[in-house]
Chain A
Amino acid sequence: MSRYRQIVKDGLWDNNMVSGQLLAMCPAMAVTATATNGLGMGLASTVVLVAANILVSSIRHLVPSAVRIPIFIVLIATLVTLVDMALNAWLHDLYKVLGLFIALIVVNCGILGRSESFASKSTVAESTVDGLAMGLGFTFALIAIGGVRELLGSGSLFAQAHLLLGPAFAFLEMKFFDGGALLMILPPGGFIVLGFLLAAKRVWESRRSARASVTQATSAA
């Protein structure tokens, strides 16, 4: 059971797709001008991550390691395209809000990264949990980046959440002030916010480990 706990902890925090592995930067920077878009990108990626991890882990014994990368790329691109077509055809209203994100997932190396470094070496159950944890961790990171950029850049939070989540979620939409720093909306703003978030995570972790070693030292003494 502790193996699954480790997987979840890895995905959400220690080895987080954005703040731990620094993967998937292209879609992350492109869409995180608002928290809502971060959420949309995160949720769509989670679905594809789980599906890709299940697919790859269930055929892992068949895949020769020399050609594993092209095989994974073909599988992931196919999967994303199938999801795109199916949503467009049968869940068209959902597609109109999520479709834009799905097109960007094809360029998400984070998904290939999980196939390669986890699903190709793990059971289907572990890979499912890993996909879910990684996806949710990715979603949290994107909401954090998007939230800071939106707040500083547009003075709002979760603008247009009702378009993504339905009218019931309009209460999430907050407006604090007009205008804001344009730089934050532009791509450099994404990198600046990411830098500060990474630094904050480092500081927090080093404080915690310092405290942990102090506790250890006192209890040993």
Chain B
Amino acid sequence: MSEPMTLERLRPTIPYQAAALAVTVMLASAALSFAERHTRGPIEQAIAEDTRRSLGEVLPQGSYDNDPGSDRLDARDGNVPVVVHIARKAGVPTAVVLETAAKGYSGEIGLVVGIDREGRVTGVRITRHTETPGLGDKVEVAKSEWVHDFAGRDLSNPAPAKWAVKKDGGVFDQFAGATITPRAVVGAVKRSLELYRREHEAWFARRDAP
């Protein structure tokens, strides 16, 4: 009974209040950094797994006989790091898959963009995002057909100026009440095609002659 009495007297004092805040924040930081350290590995592994699965979905079946998941090199698009996966058949590159990211409504959207040798999109999948359910999450293939609209397009179909959502004068649908998310994804796919056009020869040369 004596302890609550002491507490009662201590609680209104400024040093106690400052200490309470400091201890709370310290414990919270410790818990977070502990958890971060222990979850980072499994999270990265789970995302890598998701990405690997998506790679198969954006490449035409039978267009490769290697493992594009491990046939990879690092590139940069401005300040966005891009991982380039190369699909080959009998050693000859047939397509690439770019693992890239865009800034959505709330946080980063990770996506993979499959591009064949002619610079045509073979498929797009969102691998991770934190957009609002019911608004921005229609970019997920599980929730809407929207992402299929990219397949078969290239930088001349539509013309570069039309590579945008309809609200911005382009050809791609936005969602009811959510323009920011689809705008971000359309932009990322367009930038991927441009990156491919600029750099694919260097990518293929780099790996063709190991």
| Residue ranges of A at the interface with B (Cβ–Cβ < 8 Å) | 30-34, 37, 40-41, 61-67, 70-71, 74-75, 77-78, 81-82, 85-86, 88-90, 92, 99-101, 103-104, 160, 163, 182, 185-187
Pairs A–B under 8 Å by Cβ, sample size 25: A30-B134, A31-B132, A33-B134, A37-B134, A40-B133, A61-B4, A64-B12, A64-B16, A65-B11, A66-B12, A70-B21, A71-B24, A74-B24, A78-B32, A85-B35, A85-B36, A85-B43, A86-B35, A89-B38, A89-B41, A92-B42, A100-B129, A100-B137, A103-B106, A104-B132
Given known A-B contacts A88-B43, A100-B137, A187 and B177 have beta carbons under 8 A apart: yes
User: Is B20 a contact of A64 with CB atoms below 8 Å?
Assistant: yes
Establish whether residues A100 and B46, one from each chain, have CB atoms under 8 Å apart when the complex forms: no
Contact pick for A30, options B4, B129, B132, CB 8 Å: B132
Size of interface on B: residues with Cβ below 8 Å to A: 37
| 8 Å CB contact of B31 from A30, A64, A78, A163 | A78
**What residue in chain A is nearest B25 (Cβ atoms)?**
A74
Nearest-neighbour CB distance to chain A for B93, whole angstroms, equals: 32
- CB of B130 closer than 8 Å to a CB of A: yes
User: How distant is A63 from chain B, measured CB to nearest CB, in Å?
Assistant: 6
Q: What are the residues of chain A within 8 A of B35 when measuring CB–CB?
A: 81-82, 85-86
Q: How many A-B residue pairs have CB under 8 A?
A: 95
Do residues B25 and A89 form an inter-chain contact, with CB atoms below 8 A?
no
Interface string of B2-31 (1 = CB under 8 A from A): 001001000110001100110011001001
Q: Check B21–A67 contact: CB distance below 8 A.
A: yes
Contact: A67 with B31, CB < 8 Å? no
Assembled-state Cα–Cα distance A32/B133 (Å) = 9
Contact residues of A: prevailing secondary structure: helix
The reply to whether B176 and A182 form a contact with Cβ atoms under 8 Å apart is yes
Instruction: Tell me whether B46 and A92 are in contact (CB under 8 A).
Output: yes
Nearest neighbor of A163 in chain B, beta-carbon distance: B142
Closest Cβ of chain A: how far from B120's Cβ, in Å?
29
Q: How far is the CA of A81 from the CA of B49 in the complex (A)?
A: 22
Interface set of B (CB-CB < 8 Å, partner A): 4, 7, 11-12, 16-17, 20-21, 24-25, 28, 31-32, 35-36, 38-39, 41-43, 46, 49-50, 106-107, 129-135, 137, 142-143, 176-177
Residues of B within 8 A of A90 (CB): 39, 42
Query: Is B177 a contact partner of A31 (Cβ separation < 8 A)?
Result: no
- A89–B107 Cα distance when bound, in Å, is 18
Neighbouring B residues of A101 by C-beta, 8 Å: 133
CB distance from A60 to the nearest CB of B (A): 11
Whether the Cβ atoms of B176 and A89 lie closer than 8 Å is no
A122 to B106, CA, bound (A): 36
Which of B21, B32, B137 interacts with A82 by CB under 8 Å? Answer: B32
Q: Which of B4, B35, B133, B142 has the most CB of A within 10 A?
A: B133
Chain B residues contacting A61 (CB-CB under 8 Å) are 4, 7
Compute how far the CA of A66 lies from the CA of B16 in the bound complex, rounded to whole angstroms: 11
What distance in Å separates the Cβ of B133 from its nearest Cβ neighbour in chain A?
5
Identify which of B11, B21, B49, B131 contacts A100 (C-beta below 8 A). Answer: B131
Q: Which residues from chain A contact B38 at a C-beta distance below 8 Å?
A: 89
